[in-house]
Structure 1
Amino acid sequence: MTLLWTRRAIADVQAIKQFIAKDSPHAAQLVTQRLVAVVDRLILFPQSGRIVPELADPQIREVVQGSYRIVYRLIEKQVHVLTVHHAARLFPIGQ
């Protein structure tokens, strides 16, 4: 299984890290490490996430880490990380 991060997902994680770092650089580092660790586990367990309820597409799944929804798409032998989205925010359907 191959893992690919989209530009959007990378930008999401960078924005999360920058936002948290305003209050605590250490906490920002920990949150980022945890997000990446959850994504790395998808290589071994790609179907471990649930189907995103808003989309109802079996290829688009999510795992939750803390307050964040990590949305990914399964394409053959690849995991494409699409976005890392704060769970309290409205999910961006169709973007």
Structure 2
Amino acid sequence: MPLKWTRPSINDLREAGEFIASDNPQAAERMAERVQEAVEYLLEHPNMGRVGRVSGTRELVVSGTPFIIVYRVIVSTIQILRVLHHSRKWT
């Protein structure tokens, strides 16, 4: 199944990585790896995330991190909308 990252999701991931790396570069690398692993698993199981807080979306908690991947499945494509810290509001 094709995967498309939106610009906001790319920015979210970059900003989170930079913030974490400023204190602990290894932790930033681990976070990025866990997000990538979650996305790869999502490609195999696109409906595995919980129903999202915003209509038409799903949310996948990234194991071992405080991050949530917000996405939607459109026809046969997974669109990553945001990568958010669980404490952030998204509407």
Q: Normalising by structure 1, report the TM-score.
A: 0.88
The reply to whether residue 72 of structure 1 matches residue 71 of structure 2 is yes
TM-aligned CA deviation for residue 78 of structure 1: 0.3
Q: Measure the CA separation in 1 of the matches of 2:70 and 2:39.
A: 10
The reply to whether residue 63 of structure 1 matches residue 36 of structure 2 is no
TM-aligned CA deviation for residue 60 of structure 1: 0.9
Q: Which residue number corresponds to residue 14 of structure 1?
A: 14
Q: Measure the CA separation in 2 of the matches of 1:82 and 1:9.
A: 5
TM-aligned CA deviation for residue 37 of structure 1: 1.1
Q: How many residues align?
A: 89
TM-aligned CA deviation for residue 92 of structure 1: 2.3
Q: Which residue number corresponds to residue 48 of structure 1?
A: 48
Q: Measure the CA separation in 1 of the matches of 2:29 and 2:8.
A: 19
3-state SS in 2 of match to 1:43: helix
Gaps (5+ residues) in structure 1?
none
**Which is richer in helix?**
2
Q: Measure the CA separation in 2 of the matches of 1:92 and 1:41.
A: 23
Offset from partner CA, 1:17-65 (integer Å, 9 cap, x none): 000001111110110110111011111100000111x22x3x4101001
Gaps (5+ residues) in structure 2?
none
Q: Measure the CA separation in 2 of the matches of 1:33 and 1:73.
A: 21
Moved over 2 A (4+): none
**AA of the residue aligned to 2:45:** F
- Aligned residues: percent identity? 36
